[in-house]
Amino acid sequence: MAHRLAQISSHLNYPQGLLANQVAIITGAGQGIGAETAKLFANEGAKVVIADIDAGQANYALAKAGVVGLTRTIAKEWGPAFGVRSNTIAFGHVQTRLTAAKEKGAFITTPDGTKVALGIPGKQLESRQGGVGEQKQTYPDIPLGRPASPEEAAKSVLAVASPLFSYVTGETIRVTGGRNM
Ligand SMILES: NC(=O)c1ccc[n+]([C@@H]2O[C@H](COP(=O)([O-])OP(=O)(O)OC[C@H]3O[C@@H](n4cnc5c(N)ncnc54)[C@H](O)[C@@H]3O)[C@@H](O)[C@H]2O)c1
For residue 7, what pLDDT is reported?
Answer: 82
Please tell me if the CB atom of residue 54 comes closer than 6 angstroms to any atom of ligand 1.
yes
Q: pTM of the full predicted structure?
A: 0.91
Closest Cα to atom 33, ligand 1: which residue? 52
For residue 110, what pLDDT is reported?
Answer: 83
Please tell me the distance from the alpha carbon of residue 120 to that of residue 25, in angstroms, as a whole number: 29
The alpha carbon of 118 and the centre of ligand 1 are apart by a number of angstroms equal to 11
For residue 138, what pLDDT is reported?
Answer: 87
pLDDT, tens only, 117-158: 999 999 998 888 886 666 667 899 999 999 999 999 999 999
The alpha carbon of 6 and the centre of ligand 1 are apart by a number of angstroms equal to 40
CB 144 within 8 A of CB 176: no
- Residues in the chain with pLDDT values less than 50: none
Angle, in degrees to the nearest 10, between helices 32-43 and 150-161:
50
Selection from 66, 54, 62 nearest residue 28 by Cα: 54
Report the atom number in ligand 1 closest to the C-alpha of 51. 33
Please tell me the distance from the alpha carbon of residue 127 to that of residue 117, in angstroms, as a whole number: 20
Please tell me if the CB atom of residue 97 comes closer than 6 angstroms to any atom of ligand 1.
yes
For residue 127, what pLDDT is reported?
Answer: 87
What is the number of helices (H) and of strands (E) in the chain?
5, 6
The alpha carbon of 27 and the centre of ligand 1 are apart by a number of angstroms equal to 9
For residue 136, what pLDDT is reported?
Answer: 66
Task: Tell me phi and psi for residue 48, to 5 degrees.
Answer: -110, 125
Please tell me the distance from the alpha carbon of residue 68 to that of residue 20, in angstroms, as a whole number: 27
Please tell me if the CB atom of residue 94 comes closer than 6 angstroms to any atom of ligand 1.
yes
Please tell me the distance from the alpha carbon of residue 166 to that of residue 83, in angstroms, as a whole number: 10
Closest Cα to atom 2, ligand 1: which residue? 94
Adjacent-strand bridge partners of 94 = 148
Closest Cα to atom 5, ligand 1: which residue? 91
For residue 11, what pLDDT is reported?
Answer: 75
For residue 65, what pLDDT is reported?
Answer: 87
For residue 93, what pLDDT is reported?
Answer: 96
Query: What DSSP string describes 99-131?
Result: TSBGGG--EEE-TTS-EEE-SB-HHHHHHHHT-
Has 167 been annotated as catalytic?
no
Please tell me if the CB atom of residue 31 comes closer than 6 angstroms to any atom of ligand 1.
yes
Please tell me if the CB atom of residue 51 comes closer than 6 angstroms to any atom of ligand 1.
yes
